[in-house]
Amino acid sequence: MKFHLPQSYKYWWPVDVMLPDADKPGKVAKQSFEMQFAPISADEGTAMLAAIQALPVEQQAAHQHDELKAVCVDWRGVIGEDGEPVAFTKEALALALQFSWFSRGVYKAYGRSLAPEA
């Protein structure tokens, strides 16, 4: 198959989130969903990192997930406490990224999507 070089690229990728099991103390539960990524170029990533590093140290933490916020464009399979689907918004993503198990799962999935194995 020939390589297709699109102007922009979006794709769905599975995300596994390992979080504390609410019903089994000391145990971990695996929950899964799919994230749609629209990756940024290496140049954009480098510029974003440089801009964050140029900030005063006390402001840098507020920007720790900027790359994920830029590349995550949709999700499916995410439900709320009422069991109903949660619509993807940048605000909902920012809230979810505040939970370390969620952000770890998304970072891991995004990293794997950038270097998939055949």
Residue 6 belongs to a domain: no
Is residue 4 in a domain? Answer: no
Which helix (DSSP H) or strand (DSSP E) does residue 15 occupy?
strand 11-20
Sequence-distant contacts of 85-93: CB under 8 A, at least 24 apart: 93/68, 93/69
pLDDT of residue 118: 56
- pLDDT recorded at residue 87: 97
What are the pLDDT digits (tens) for 56-72? 888 888 888 898 999 99
Q: Which residues of the chain have pLDDT under 50?
A: none
Asked if residue 3 belongs to a domain, the reply is: no
pTM listed for this prediction:
0.84
12 sits in which H/E element: strand 11-20
Report the pLDDT value the prediction gives residue 75, as an integer from 0 to 100: 98
Q: Which of 90, 54, 49 is nearest to 67 (CA)?
A: 49
In a domain, 55, yes or no: yes
Query: What local confidence, expressed as pLDDT, does residue 17 receive?
Result: 97
**Local structure of 87: helix, strand or coil:** coil
pLDDT at position 21: 94
The per-residue pLDDT for 79 is 96
Question: Is 84 domain-assigned?
Answer: yes
Q: Which domain holds residue 87?
A: 11-114
Residue 2 lies in a domain: no
What's the total number of domains in the chain? Answer: 1
